[in-house]
C-alpha cells in the first residue's frame, strides 16, 4: 500500500512501541437489559457469518437497521473519571464452595464446533475427573450467534451458570446487567493475573474492570500453499507481512502460473468484511471509532470512512480488479475462502482465516479431504497489514459467570474457570485447537512447548499478539451494537469488492453504523 497509509502506520508503530503504557481505563456501569427494543439494544446477533474463531453461522444479514435520512448528533455522554478503587462491584462468593453439601453442578453454554468442541470437552472431562466438588456439564449451541440468541431469549433463572461470549458483544453483555464481573472474583480470591497476556485481559476490560475471563483467544493469520510459493520462486519460510508484499507475492504467483490467483478474500462479517477491517486499522495505528475505540467513553461514531479506510479498501479492490485476488463473496459457510485454495481449475495460493481453524484445517487435510494436499503442505504467516509489522487484536471469546444462580454455583463456576486458564490447560488447549495460550508460563509446559518448536506454524498467532503495542488502537473497538456495525460494514465491503465506489460505500455504511450507535447509546 502506498503513500499516506504506509508512512502513517510505520510512524504510529514506532511511536507506540516507544511510548506505550498500561494505564487503566474507566468504568461504565451496567444497565438493565433491553431485550426487545431493537437490534442495537440487545445481545442478539444477526445470523449470517462464522464467528471470529471459526464457529459456524448461517447465511443472511438479519439484524441490520435501515439508514435514516440524517445522522443524529453525536452522543453527549461525558467521559467518566471513576477510578477502579471507587467502583462498587457485585460480590463474587469464591469461598462458598467450601461449605457446599455434595457436588455442585455447573451448566456451561458455548458455541464451539469441530476440533474446538473436542478440545473443550477434553478439558471439562479432565476437570471433572480431577475433583469431586464440581460437576461441569457442557451444552454446545452450534455457534456464537446461537448462544447469544438463546441467552437473550431465556430468563435469568433459566440461563446457564457459565457462558462463553465472543469479543464483539462485550459492551452489550456489560449493559445486560446479568453477569458477575470477573474482577470481583479476581479480587476476592487473590487470583494472580501476572502471567496472563495483557492484550487478552484488556480486550474484556473497560474502565479498569475485568468483565470476563479470556479463554479461547485467536487472531487472523495467512494460510498459503507452500508448493505454489516454491513454484513461483517465493520462499515458503518468508510469507508476506505487509499489504504491499501481499500484492507483490500475488503478482509473482499469477505471472508464474503457479496459481490462477494470489489470494482468496471474502466480505464475511467476522472475516474480510468486518473483523479484518478492525485488524487492519489497528495495524495502521488508527482508531476505528472515536473516544479511543469506545474505551475512554462510549463511542459515538466510526472512523473507517476517512482517508485510511478509503486507501485501504481501494488497495484491496484493485487487487481484485487486477486479477491478483479472487473474491469468494460473503463466505457464509466460513469455508469458501479455504476451498478456493483447493480449486482444481483456478486455485488461489493464499487466504486469510482465524488461527482457531488451524487444528480443524490440518485434521481435515490429513484425513484426505482434498486429494494430494495434506496439512504439511499449508504454510502459516502473520496477517499482512498496512504497517508490515505483525500485530493483532484479540478475537475468540471469553467466559462470563451468570449472576443470581446462587453463591455455591458462582464459586464452582469460578473454580472451573481457574482450571481452564491454568498453565497446563492452556498448553493442551493451544495444541488441540490452534488458539493462543493466554498465559506466558503455558509455553514452558508440554505439549505446547514441544509443539511450538516442532511446528512453528502454531506459534504465529501467539507472536503476532504479544508483539502488538499497548495503545488504544491495538486494543480494538468496543461498540454497543458492534455486531450490527460489522454487518453494515461487510455489506459495504461486498459492494466495493464487486467494483463499487469506495468512498460512497464507506460513507453510506458509516452513516448507518453511526445511527446504530446513536440508537444504542440512547437506550442504554
pLDDT category, 373, cuts 50, 70, 90? confident
189 pLDDT exceeds 60?
yes
Tell me what percent of the residues of the chain surpass a pLDDT of 90: 73
In this predicted structure, the answer to whether residue 170 has a pLDDT above a threshold of 70 is: yes
53: confidence class by pLDDT, cuts 50, 70, 90? low
Mean pLDDT of the chain: 85
d(CA 373, CA 48): 29
Q: Work out the average pLDDT over 158-174.
A: 95
pLDDT beyond 50 at 56? no
Taking the mean position of all CA atoms in its chain, how far away is CA 288? Answer: 15
pLDDT of 197: 93
Parts of the chain belonging to CATH 3.40.190.10: 84-217+395-445, 220-391
At residue 369, the pLDDT reads 80
* Mean pLDDT computed over 208-220: 94
User: What would the pLDDT profile of 149-160 be if each residue is shown by its tens digit?
Assistant: 999 999 999 999
pLDDT above 90 (res 71): no
In the chain, % helix, strand, coil (3-state, to 5) comes to: 45, 15, 40
Predicted local distance difference test score (pLDDT) of residue 52: 53
Domain with residues 84-217+395-445, CATH architecture: 3-Layer(aba) Sandwich (3.40)
For cell 453511526, name the residue: 514
Q: How confident is the model at residue 43 (pLDDT cuts 50, 70, 90)?
A: low
Q: What is the pLDDT of residues 122-142, one digit of tens each?
A: 999 999 999 999 999 999 999
Q: Which helix or strand (DSSP H or E) is residue 412 part of?
A: helix 407-420
Residue 291: asked if its preceding bond is cis (omega within 30°), the reply is no
Angle at 421 between CA 415 and CA 424, to 5 degrees: 110
* pLDDT given at position 295: 86
Write phi, then psi, for 169 (nearest 5 degrees). -125, 25
145 vs 75, which has greater pLDDT? 145
Q: Is the pLDDT of residue 85 over 80?
A: no
Dihedrals φ, ψ of 176, to 5°? Answer: -70, -20
pLDDT in tens, 321-363: 999 999 999 988 888 999 999 898 999 999 999 998 888 888 8
Is the pLDDT at 40 greater than 50, yes or no? no
What is the predicted pLDDT for the residue at 360? 84
Whole-number pLDDT of residue 370: 78
- Give the other-Cβ count within 10 Å of 194's Cβ: 8
Give dist(CA 185, CA 203) in Å, integer.
18
Q: Where does 311-427 show beta strands of DSSP type E?
A: 325-327, 348-354, 378-382, 395-402
> Which tens digit of pLDDT belongs to each residue from 267-296?
999 999 999 999 999 999 999 999 999 988
106 three-state secondary structure: strand
Question: Residue 45 — pLDDT band, cuts 50, 70, 90?
Answer: very low
Q: DSSP code of 132?
A: S
- Provide mean pLDDT across the span 365-381: 89
Angle at 461 between CA 298 and CA 50, to 5 degrees: 60
| 429-439 mean pLDDT | 92
Instruction: Tell me which residue has cell 467450601.
Output: 98
What value does the mean pLDDT take over residues 304-319? 98
| pLDDT value at residue 51 | 54
- If phi over 0 gives left and psi between -120 and 50 gives alpha, with beta otherwise, what is residue 390? beta
pLDDT band at 30 (very low <50, low <70, confident <90, very high): very low
- CA distances (Å), 173 to each of 156, 375, 435, 438, 522, in order? 13, 38, 23, 21, 17
Q: Which CATH fold topology does 220-391 show?
A: D-Maltodextrin-Binding Protein; domain 2 (3.40.190)
Amino acid at each position: 500500500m502506498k503513500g499516506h497509509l504506509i508512512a502513517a502506520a510505520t510512524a504510529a508503530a514506532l511511536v507506540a512501541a516507544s511510548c506505550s503504557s498500561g494505564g487503566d481505563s474507566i468504568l461504565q456501569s451496567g444497565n438493565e437489559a433491553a431485550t426487545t427494543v431493537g437490534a442495537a439494544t440487545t445481545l442478539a446477533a444477526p445470523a449470517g457469518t462464522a464467528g471470529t474463531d471459526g464457529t459456524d453461522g448461517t447465511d443472511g444479514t438479519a439484524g441490520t437497521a435501515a439508514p435514516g435520512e440524517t445522522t443524529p448528533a453525536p452522543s453527549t455522554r461525558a467521559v467518566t473519571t471513576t477510578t477502579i478503587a471507587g467502583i462498587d462491584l457485585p460480590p463474587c462468593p469464591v469461598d462458598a464452595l467450601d461449605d457446599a453439601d455434595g457436588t455442585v453442578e455447573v451448566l456451561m453454554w458455548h458455541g464451539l464446533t469441530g476440533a474446538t468442541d473436542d478440545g473443550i470437552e477434553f478439558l471439562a472431562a479432565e476437570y471433572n475427573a480431577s475433583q469431586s466438588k464440581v460437576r461441569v456439564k457442557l451444552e454446545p449451541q452450534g455457534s456464537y450467534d446461537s448462544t447469544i440468541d438463546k441467552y437473550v431469549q431465556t430468563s435469568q433463572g433459566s440461563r446457564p451458570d457459565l457462558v462463553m461470549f465472543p469479543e464483539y458483544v462485550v459492551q452489550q453483555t456489560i449493559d445486560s446487567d446479568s453477569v458477575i464481573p470477573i474482577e470481583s472474583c479476581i479480587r476476592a480470591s487473590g487470583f494472580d493475573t501476572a502471567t496472563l497476556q495483557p492484550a487478552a485481559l484488556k480486550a474484556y476490560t473497560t474502565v479498569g474492570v475485568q468483565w470476563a475471563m479470556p479463554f479461547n483467544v485467536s487472531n487472523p493469520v495467512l494460510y498459503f500453499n507452500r508448493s505454489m510459493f516454491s513454484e513461483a520462486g517465493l520462499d515458503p519460510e518468508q510469507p508476506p507481512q505487509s499489504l504491499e508484499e501481499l500484492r507483490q507475492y500475488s503478482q509473482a504467483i499469477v505471472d508464474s502460473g503457479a496459481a490462477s490467483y494470489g489470494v482468496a478474500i471474502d466480505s464475511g462479517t467476522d472475516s474480510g468484511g468486518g473483523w479484518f477491517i478492525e485488524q487492519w486499522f489497528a495495524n495502521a495505528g488508527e482508531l476505528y471509532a472515536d473516544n479511543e475505540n469506545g474505551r475512554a467513553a462510549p463511542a459515538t461514531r466510526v472512523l473507517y470512512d476517512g482517508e485510511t479506510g478509503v486507501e485501504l479498501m481501494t488497495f484491496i479492490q484493485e487487487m481484485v480488479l487486477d486479477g491478483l485476488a479472487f473474491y469468494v463473496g460473503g463466505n457464509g459457510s466460513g469455508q469458501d475462502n479455504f476451498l478456493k485454495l483447493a480449486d482444481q481449475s483456478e486455485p488461489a495460493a493464499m487466504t486469510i482465516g482465524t488461527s482457531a481453524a488451524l487444528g480443524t484445517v490440518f485434521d481435515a487435510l490429513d484425513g484426505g479431504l482434498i486429494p494430494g494436499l495434506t496439512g504439511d503442505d499449508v504454510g502459516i504467516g502473520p496477517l499482512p497489514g498496512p504497517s508490515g509489522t505483525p500485530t493483532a487484536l484479540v478475537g475468540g471469546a471469553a467466559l462470563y459467570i451468570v449472576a443470581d444462580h446462587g453463591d455455591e454455583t458462582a464459586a464452582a463456576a469460578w473454580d472451573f474457570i481457574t482450571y481452564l486458564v491454568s498453565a497446563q490447560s492452556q498448553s493442551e488447549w493451544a495444541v488441540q485447537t490452534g488458539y493462543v495460550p493466554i498465559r506466558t508460563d503455558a509455553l514452558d509446559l508440554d505439549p505446547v512447548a514441544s509443539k511450538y518448536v516442532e511446528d512453528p506454524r502454531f506459534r504465529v498467532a501467539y507472536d503476532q499478539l504479544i508483539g502488538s503495542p499497548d495503545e488504544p488502537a491495538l486494543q480494538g473497538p468496543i461498540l454497543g451494537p458492534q455486531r450490527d456495525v460489522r454487518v453494515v460494514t461487510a455489506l459495504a465491503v461486498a459492494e466495493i469488492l464487486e467494483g463499487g465506489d469506495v468512498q460512497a460505500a464507506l460513507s453510506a455504511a458509516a452513516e448507518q453504523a453511526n445511527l446504530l450507535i446513536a440508537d444504542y447509546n440512547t437506550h442504554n
